[in-house]
């Protein structure tokens, strides 16, 4: 496994763990798992700390000692992953804008406001879009490295 692939795995774990923590702290912990609250939070924090430590170690070793040499395959995988992440954020954003436009035109006919009209909800949706874009980017990198580029 190359250093770039390890970095992609760490990035995927980091983004997914932060997204789960954000969900828990924003919307509350599920009532089914209340007995395991501390162990879930400790596990997620442990994953975040390991991912950050591994990414820093790879960056340090890459810049000081060994030097991480990216070949054309690594650059192609990174470019494809960035493209997938960017397109996914743009699709999510266009869906959100379309929803807001449709709600502005047809919201008065329904008699009540739609789901995404409050500022707090819009903020959460935009934050989720950014997290999902990062998850799509790192997940695409992992997929392409596992597939063989």
pLDDT tens track of the chain, all 149 residues?
A: 777 888 888 888 888 988 888 888 888 877 777 777 788 888 888 888 888 888 788 777 766 666 556 788 889 999 999 999 999 999 999 998 888 888 777 766 666 666 667 778 888 889 999 999 999 999 999 999 998 85
Q: How far is CA 140 from the centre of its chain?
A: 11
SS3 65: helix
Instruction: Classify the phi-psi angles of 3: left when phi > 0, otherwise alpha if psi is within -120 to 50, otherwise beta.
Output: alpha
Cα–Cα distance between 12 and 10 in angstroms, integer?
5
- 101's CB contacts (< 8 A; 6+ apart) are none
pTM of the model: 0.76
Cα–Cα distance between 29 and 122 in angstroms, integer?
21
Assess contact for 93 and 129: CB atoms under 8 A. Answer: yes
Q: Give the pLDDT of residue 25.
A: 82
């Amino acid at each position: 496994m190359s250093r770039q692939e390890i970095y992609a795995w760490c990035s995927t774990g980091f983004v997914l763990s932060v997204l789960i923590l954000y969900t828990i702290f924003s919307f509350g912990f599920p009532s089914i798992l209340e007995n395991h609250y501390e162990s879930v939070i400790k596990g997620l924090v442990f994953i975040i700390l390991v991912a950050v430590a591994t990414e820093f170690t790879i960056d340090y070793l890459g810049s000081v000692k060994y030097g991480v040499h990216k070949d054309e395959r690594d650059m192609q995988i990174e470019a494809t992953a960035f493209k997938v992440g960017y397109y996914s954020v743009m699709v999510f954003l266009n869906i959100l804008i379309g929803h807001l436009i449709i709600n502005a035109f047809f919201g008065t006919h329904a008699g009540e406001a739609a789901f995404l009209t409050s500022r707090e909800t819009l903020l959460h949706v935009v934050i989720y879009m950014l997290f999902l874009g990062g998850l799509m980017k790192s997940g695409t990198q992992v997929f392409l490295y596992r597939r063989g580029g």
